[in-house]
């Protein structure tokens, strides 16, 4: 584990190859039930370069109506699939005493996809950390402080790495500069899957899972 300061922790190769394969297969099952969809910017309707889905009690969506969490897939109208036990166990191990995660955002980055600097602030509870899992090709991740325009640092995230953003850096600006195609053989095609676990509200929601 590498302590990057301010509540940011990087666990290199938290998931070994066997665990990565199991998690990849679990994500494939989720996407069969809740297909990837194309999020758009609220004001412009411009498509983001990533495709996404969710699992857990709540899912994050972005469209002309805004950024928000909801309990059903925006295209199929069906509830989000159950969050895999592996991810619930990860949360218990790295999120200390935080209540159970209510959402896991699944982002799929094709080779040319990126994500600009942004804050994870659509939740109502910020005392629980954000826990991020990387699968597939390596990316260059960038993180700054809690104010836009400040100094940033960047580093590579590889398949199996886990990044935790908590404490004073829970609302840090962060993003993905680029993907390095061909740096992993985990996925059938070049690209990266990012799984982001969050506790959305302090209070439970109806379909919230109990931690394994």
In tens, the pLDDT along 63-100 reads 988 899 999 999 999 999 999 999 999 999 999 889 99
pTM: 0.94
Q: What is the mean pLDDT of residues 9-37?
A: 98
* Structural domain contains residue 207: no
| pLDDT tens digits for range 151-204 | 999 999 999 999 999 999 999 999 999 999 999 999 999 999 999 999 999 988
pLDDT at position 205 is 84
Contact of 98 with 47, CB cutoff 8 Å:
no
The C-alpha atoms of residue 125 and residue 68 are separated, in whole angstroms, by 14
Residue 210 lies in a domain: no
Range of the domain at 16: 2-198
pLDDT at 209 over 80: no
210 has a pLDDT exceeding 80: no
Rounded CA-CA distance 120/198 in Å is 9
State mean pLDDT over 103-112. Answer: 97
Evaluate whether residue 194 is within a structural domain.
yes
Q: What percent of the chain has pLDDT over 70?
A: 98
Domain holding 71: CATH number? 2.60.120.590
Q: Which residue has the tokens 């899957």?
A: 193
Question: Considering the domain boundaries, does residue 162 fall inside one?
Answer: yes
Mean pLDDT value of segment 38-47: 88
Looking at residue 107, what is its pLDDT? 97
d(CA 68, CA 65): 9
32 pLDDT higher than 80: yes
- Tokens 């790495």 belong to residue: 161
Q: How high is the pLDDT of residue 17? A: 98
- Rounded to an integer, the average pLDDT of 14-19 is 98
How high is the pLDDT of residue 211? 58
Residue at 102 is within a domain: yes
Grade residue 44 by pLDDT with cuts at 50, 70 and 90: confident
206 lies in a domain? no
pLDDT at 165: 97
Q: Over the stretch 127-147, which tens digit does the pLDDT of each residue have?
A: 999 999 999 999 999 999 999
Closest CA to 163 of 90, 97, 105, 103: 90
Domain count, the chain: 1
Say if 161 falls within a structural domain. yes
């Amino acid at each position: 584990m590498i302590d990057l300061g301010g509540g940011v922790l990087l666990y290199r190769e938290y998931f070994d190859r066997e665990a990565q394969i199991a998690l990849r297969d679990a994500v494939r099952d989720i996407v069969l039930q809740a297909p990837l969809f194309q999020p758009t910017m609220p004001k412009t309707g411009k498509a983001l370069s990533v495709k996404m889905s969710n699992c857990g009690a709540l899912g994050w969506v972005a469209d002309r109506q805004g950024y928000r969490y909801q309990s059903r897939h925006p295209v199929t109208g069906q509830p989000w699939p159950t969050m895999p036990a592996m991810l619930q166990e990860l949360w218990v191990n790295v999120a200390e005493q935080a209540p159970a995660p209510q959402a896991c955002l699944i982002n799929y980055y094709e080779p040319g996809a990126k994500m600009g600097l942004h804050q994870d602030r659509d939740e109502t509870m910020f005392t629980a950390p954000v826990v991020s899992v990387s699968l597939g090709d390596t990316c260059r991740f960038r993180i700054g402080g809690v104010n836009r325009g400040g100094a940033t640092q960047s580093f590579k995230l590889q398949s199996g790495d886990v990044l935790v953003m908590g404490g004073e850096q829970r609302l840090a600006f962060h993003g993905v500069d680029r993907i390095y195609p061909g740096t992993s053989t985990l996925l059938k095609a070049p690209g990266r899957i990012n799984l982001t676990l969050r506790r959305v509200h302090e209070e439970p929601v109806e379909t919230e899972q109990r931690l394994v």
